[in-house]
Structure 1
């Protein structure tokens, strides 16, 4: 298989042409299509051969047609659902959301076809083949994404971006793209209201190439892959529309940053009312069918994980008892949904009576905001240090999830004294159950500033979805293995 990644770096960040980025995008897209096709064919052929061997005389009639039809149906559904669109490949939950939606549509069509043809073998393909295809294709895509993100951290496979807006908003965009290179953007040039000075100008190391009125000219001349429009008084509806018209016929994607609020994901909808395009923001959902599904997934997931980790938890409990005096578990009051308190469970990682010694260490606090944290806390035991690094001490919280006081994914559970100091905005964290993991867990944990941790928790509360939960759970494993921000 041809590698989807280029072998050389692109041009320096002073007006890179989009051709190399376009080449790798198409190469990566072809690799994903090939991967999906091969994975689907492998699963379908394996199931067909295994079960068809029992009925070799009628293999072609009963199994061969169904196998071939299932593969065509899955691949066709992926194409119709635009699951191979370059804009969604390699980043965000949208890629897996479209993949899941495509496979669900294929399942429905397959079921309806089986009813119409009165096929007795259709259940095998619905309940075995499609789930197996989903498992293999999603795993393959995740592995491809890991390779892509690895290349992006080295400065490869990045889309050259022309940012156009006020200096402050553009500076924020540059900072975010550098902090999160896996998202695939690299700001190569900037247009501002005043444009460059006589001898040129730099904004956070990126060259200012022109005024906001010059954006289309620079795109046609230098071929940027993305035009990121950030807030500025210059951008009236007419000027944005004119810019969109001027970008027609290019390979450039125009992205407009929201000005009113930080809301994303499934709550944003574009509606045309009386010929006017309106951005409709739906209310966050705290009840209903999706929340009921989340509740079921939490309880079942916690039960399964407790069974799987039972031997490890017994072993860890013995180590805790052997390492220092005290009990196996540490119990602490935390604040949950709607401000109700509950007792959280953890493996004990500190010496006995560690809470009483906290006052003596108050001056050494390294935690953000109201949090108390020490990178080298003298109260932590030898075994406790290892447990904390890999978050093994939090496994008993699965009992909290099983009993309904916590969720697998959610905001960090605060202490009563922390929540008492919350303002009205921060108290929105308490609208949902706290989580065993969350956006804060996969984004740096204790290394985050207080403001960033709050922002991530509020973003989760506002933009929650089942797909986002799935991505967070998947990324938690990597965060735990690397131990980033854990102390």
Structure 2
């Protein structure tokens, strides 16, 4: 009897016949994508649409009523075209275009929702493009009433949109602290890389990443190395684990055991699931504004700009510091007078406390503060540090410091003791925003990394203050100060100033 063999009709069937059983459990490449995006994203996006629509409608109607009147209907809206259109129709058209631009330029994309600056910049960018187009059209048609929308609706609308997104971001953060509105993430990489990425995600809980587990190399599945998450499989199991655990994103941690071919295959396995693929580069603590990508022959190269310590940005910062410091001195002068009287009446000794600190490029200067401790407090510091076992730490901080006076504790709570430092800023010795100024004895204990803090002027406030300066470890203080020193920008300074106001009003100053 003749034996006949039946050839598979399709190439996909021939491939499937040869692959191992475990890989056959993966879905074939090329099936229609079934998204597994978080169910809360669409509902949250709808809320953004509604709030955007309400704010833009109010802005545009308000602009029309101020400049033109609600019922204004001119004979012609243009001096070049014979058109007769009610201004209200133009208001509606601008509303529709503004909502469309916000959508087209991804201001409500799940990848920027709640991210802060990236979301705000997209809102501003979309609005700027729209009104740039409006300005060009108005110029060509010689449509004078458009100036009212450009001068009023544009800045007011952008401000309201950003404030709205900020409010929604705060609401989202509160929900995430309660365990809601989370993004389920699967980590992939070597144990050390997975541990590092887990630490970074855990430190930034407000991002809403919920780590479900990790996929490791085959050898790591057999060893006893401890990692902070469950081992759910190897690199070959990423697709099936992602579907089984219903993850929303897979994060690839840098690893020598993840060569380009392995990354491609992981991407293929995720192709039919709709799961986002995130690649975590080996570089950390680098601001996004310093990172640029450029495709070269199909290879996405990442460029990292060197930190900027000189040039126009530095000059602009110095000029801004000088102006803001004088404004602050004038506005807070009654408060400084009251604080000085309080210090003088509540404890013997001088009103101001002067101490040598190390500033830009290691240059010493005399910092000014309202005195918050008893006389001779400096002489007691060494003994107090030895008693609590931190004499060898470059952060001279005494827990429950007995040297602080009762009134000193009050002015420290609200950061009133630091108001005289605005005079240090006027003299050019300090900046309003910068790393924490430290004593010479502390600087003497610096390693090479910590020494980079001296590449910028010390500040009255900074990331170290708004992040809970009295509760930070030395390592966290260095990390924050180095991040600021290498990534600072005027926009970041403005944000830190806003955080400082919030911190002071909430009575979270030094303790």
TM class by shorter chain equals: 0.7 to 0.9
Q: Is the 8 A contact 2:235 2:266 kept in 1?
A: no
Across the two proteins, how many residue pairs are aligned to each other?
Answer: 468
Alpha-carbon shift at residue 152 of structure 1 (Å)? 0.9
In the alignment, is residue 298 of structure 1 matched against residue 299 of structure 2? no
Q: Is the 8 A contact 1:227 1:253 kept in 2?
A: yes
Question: SS of the residue aligned with 1:90?
Answer: coil
Separation of aligned partners in 2, 1:113 and 1:301: 39
Question: SS of the residue aligned with 1:377?
Answer: coil
Partner of 1:45: 61
The structure whose Rg is larger is 2
Q: 1:278 to 1:175 in 2, by over 3 A?
A: closer
Partner of 1:91: 115
Correspondence 1:143-158 to 2 at 5 A: 143-158=167-182
In the alignment, is residue 82 of structure 1 matched against residue 106 of structure 2? yes
> Which of 42, 53, 62 does residue 26 from structure 1 map onto?
42
User: Which stretch of structure 1 is more off in the superposition, 450-459 or 69-78?
Assistant: 69-78
Question: SS of the residue aligned with 1:22?
Answer: coil
Separation of aligned partners in 2, 1:280 and 1:294: 25
Q: Is the 8 A contact 1:365 1:373 kept in 2?
A: no
Q: Is the 8 A contact 1:24 1:157 kept in 2?
A: yes
Partner of 2:386: 363
Structure 1 length normalisation: TM-score? 0.85
Partner of 1:438: 462
RMSD of equivalent CA atoms: 3.2
Q: 1:106 to 1:391 in 2, by over 3 A?
A: farther
Q: Is the 8 A contact 1:70 1:125 kept in 2?
A: no
Separation of aligned partners in 1, 2:498 and 2:264: 40
Partner of 2:125: 101
Alpha-carbon shift at residue 122 of structure 1 (Å)? 4.3
Structure 2, unpaired ranges of 5+: 1-33, 78-85
> Which of 169, 172, 180 does residue 204 from structure 2 map onto?
180
Q: Is the 8 A contact 1:166 1:232 kept in 2?
A: yes
Q: Is the 8 A contact 2:425 2:431 kept in 1?
A: yes
Correspondence 1:382-401 to 2 at 5 A: 382-401=406-425
Separation of aligned partners in 2, 1:209 and 1:201: 14
Q: 1:106 to 1:317 in 2, by over 3 A?
A: farther
User: Which stretch of structure 1 is more off in the superposition, 462-471 or 225-234?
Assistant: 462-471
Separation of aligned partners in 1, 2:44 and 2:119: 14
In the alignment, is residue 139 of structure 1 matched against residue 163 of structure 2? yes
User: Which stretch of structure 1 is more off in the superposition, 455-464 or 469-478?
Assistant: 469-478
Structure 1, unpaired ranges of 5+: 1-17
Alpha-carbon shift at residue 149 of structure 1 (Å)? 0.7
Question: SS of the residue aligned with 2:438?
Answer: coil
Separation of aligned partners in 1, 2:371 and 2:342: 10
Question: SS of the residue aligned with 2:451?
Answer: helix
Q: Is the 8 A contact 2:188 2:216 kept in 1?
A: yes
Q: Is the 8 A contact 2:360 2:456 kept in 1?
A: yes
Separation of aligned partners in 1, 2:489 and 2:308: 9
> Which of 98, 110, 128 does residue 152 from structure 2 map onto?
128
